[in-house]
Homo-oligomer: A and B are copies of this chain.
Amino acid sequence: MQRIVVEVMPKPEILDPQGKAIVNALPRIGIETFSGVRQGKRFELTVDGEVTDADLAAAREAAETLLSNPVIEDVVSVYAVDAAADATR
């Protein structure tokens, strides 16, 4: 079993109230490091068996049509990860 990760972020020019709220809250927990925060979405799409090019193409199509709003969001990346391998970096 493998997974395809799709990452979606608000377009840079779009106001991100969620991100603003976070960057204003961080000093309250003693973190002054970050000058900005933006919040987007991360999807994991499960594929039975190995990921094929057709699967990646289907994931891109899903990303562009269902998983993101092209008017206000960008699809940042679409890539396969092995479900067994821990996706932590």
Give A contacts to B, CB under 8 Å. Answer: 4, 7-9, 19, 22, 25-26, 29, 31, 33-48, 54-55, 58-59, 61-62, 65-67, 76-79, 87-89
Contact = CB atoms under 8 A, between A and B. Distances in A.
A87 B25 CA distance: 26
B29 A66 contact: yes
A37 B35 CA distance: 32
B46 A37 contact: yes
A65 B29 CA distance: 9
Nearest to A33: B58
B34 A45 contact: yes
Contact of A43 (B29, B38, B88): B38
